[in-house]
Chain A
Amino acid sequence: MTVGQALELVCPAGTPAALRAAVEAGAHAVYCGFNDETNARNFPGLNFSREEMAEAIAFAHRHGAKVLVALNTFPRAGAFSQWSAAVDDCARFGADAVILADLGLLEDASRRHPGLRLHLSVQAAAANADAINFYVRTFGVKRIVLPRVLTVQEIAAINREIEAETEVFIFGGLCVMAEGRCSLSSYATGKSPNMNGACSPASHVEYREEGGALVSRLGGFAIHRVAAGQPAPYPTLCKGVFEAGDYKGHVFEDPVSLDAAALIPQLAEAGVTALKIEGRQRSRAYTEAVVRSFRRALNDHAAGRPIAAGELRALTEGQQTTAGAYRKTWR
């Protein structure tokens, strides 16, 4: 992409109401998914029926926003037609792009819907220029959502060597593994985030107040105990407290959320096209607040004004934020 071009704000919506809130708050594009296993946010009560998706796309288009549909899980053997039919529906409803991770599905979509714009999901974990160029040349992928393991310098290096747009996460929950390759949740619950569509599925989560402390269990494993008054984290294993040798604490990652608002100028400079906000599982109140704040930040950036950062801390897991791998400081 040409440096200096306006950045696109890609915002999450778990429900039609959240999609409307995102568009009203200034989203350039909204990403969302169907209420089934084709969607990596396959949570109870969340997502869009076919009818709701068609209406949501029409609503967004009336207001000048795009809809990108995430079909970002990996089709189960023997059930490919469910994923393939979802691509057909997106094309029929006029989706602006589909976000795919699976090679078979990319091949199927590019062959049967040559006019449908393809984005490569973060789940595909394409983290170098060679891998990205393969997807671009083979399937005509137009945009790559980069894994959250790259530094700004690495992103800039990738952008110099590829013929596609890049999209990076700017705010929200952090999944610290190279995307699509984490088996922690599958191990504890028997359900795969990559195929069934949910890390730490709610059906396997149990919260209990024990003597003022909040104890969270996933699939029967106690993963953290938080004292009264301390911020609570999500029940994801990567943010759990474990004993390893003499060490007891957060083995993989602290319960913090990504907030890279302060890095918007550097990301633009690195040639990024779009900034993505995580949180399709969150409410429309979150969507509205975060989208409004980041749209203001992008407007400030475009106008050369300083960007206000850190104003969304109260909404984040652990009530603490990090710039993640963009400024890498691994344990």
Chain B
Amino acid sequence: MPSANAIPFFPTAGALALRLAPLAPLSFAAARLARSLGRRHPALFKRLGDQTGKTFLLDPTDLPFAFLLSPRPEAPGLKAVRRSSAGSWDARIAGSLAALIGLVHGAYDGDALFFSRDLVIEGDTEAVLALRNAIDNEEIDLARETAALFGPFESVALRPAHGLAALAARWTGVAFKRPERGTWE
């Protein structure tokens, strides 16, 4: 497992450029991703139990915007927001983009990031734990999930998605693809 000390930060130049970018297209893509994730990983909602009604502010501290996640089983939502207009949330999970994505990919341990202060948690701790555990069990690969947005062309889109993820990883240091592990049946 990579050491928490080695977590990269998103390049400042990139973050500055993103400050000017409109959030609507990002929100559109994020919403589609959330719906697709919900369809492909229904067990997420089971693990979340009564926490599906909560709203989470996912806050990549090295980016100029954050995401509001509402994991409702009937209509999961994910929306990009400016911090100043994020509105109300039940729990905030903040850290560098690489730390947050590394958690989704199971590359980092949430408690270890909390101990090292690379991860900040605020608000409803129960909801945060439920979300963390639910995601950890799903063994999600965000590059694969993005490819899945192409429906029947998923297998065709997977190679370019992983290629793009590798390219973006080289530039930003963020692992957009899940590290390869065993696949025992």
Question: Could you tell me which A residues sit within 8 Å of B by CB distance?
Answer: 14-18, 20-21, 23-24, 43-46, 49, 59, 63, 201-203, 205-209, 214, 226, 228-234, 281-286, 288-289, 314-319
Contact = CB atoms under 8 A, between A and B. Distances in A.
Interface string B111-133: 11011110011100111111111
A16 B184 CA distance: 12
Given A23-B184, A45-B51, A314 B112 contact: yes
A11 to B, nearest CB: 14
Interface stretch (B22-30, B79-87, B136-144, B167-175): B136-144
B34 interface: no
Pick from A17, A44, A203, A205 the residue with the most CB of B within 10 Å: A44
A16 B137 contact: yes
Contact of A43 (B3, B109, B116, B133): B133
Contacts of B77: none
Q: Is the interface of B mostly helix, strand, loop or mixed?
A: helix
Contacts, number: 119
A314 B111 contact: no
Given A286-B111, A315-B112, A46 B133 contact: yes
A286 B132 CA distance: 13
16 contacts: A44-B127, A44-B129, A45-B130, A63-B184, A203-B125, A206-B125, A207-B125, A231-B116, A232-B115, A282-B109, A282-B111, A283-B132, A284-B106, A284-B137, A284-B139, A314-B4
Contact of B111 (A16, A21, A283): A283
B152 interface: no
B122 A208 contact: yes
Contact of B121 (A20, A207, A288, A314): A207
A209 to B, nearest CB: 6
Closest 8 CB pairs of A and B: A45-B133, A45-B130, A44-B130, A15-B137, A289-B1, A286-B109, A202-B126, A205-B125
A20 B133 contact: no
Contact of B106 (A49, A231, A281, A285): A285
B136 A318 contact: no
Given A203-B126, A319-B116, A45 B132 contact: yes
Given A17-B136, A283-B136, A209 B3 contact: no
A207 B136 contact: no
B5 interface: yes
Contacts of A63: 184
A207 B129 CA distance: 13
Contact of A231 (B108, B115, B133, B139): B115
B69 interface: no
Which range holds the interface residue count of chain B? 35 or more
A14 B46 CA distance: 15
A284 B111 CA distance: 11
A21 B130 CA distance: 20
Contact of B108 (A46, A201, A285, A316): A285
A226 B137 CA distance: 31
A233 B116 CA distance: 9
Contacts of B3: 314
A9 to B, nearest CB: 17
B110 A283 contact: yes
Nearest to A15: B137
Contact of A318 (B115, B122, B130, B181): B115
A24 B139 CA distance: 15
B50 to A, nearest CB: 9
Contacts of B48: 45
A15 B133 contact: yes
A202 B50 CA distance: 14
B49 interface: yes
A52 to B, nearest CB: 9
Contacts of B121: 207
B20 to A, nearest CB: 28
A155 B184 CA distance: 37
A285 B133 CA distance: 12
A21 B132 CA distance: 17
Given A45-B47, A45-B49, A288-B1, A232 B117 contact: yes
Contacts of A228: 117
Nearest to A214: B117
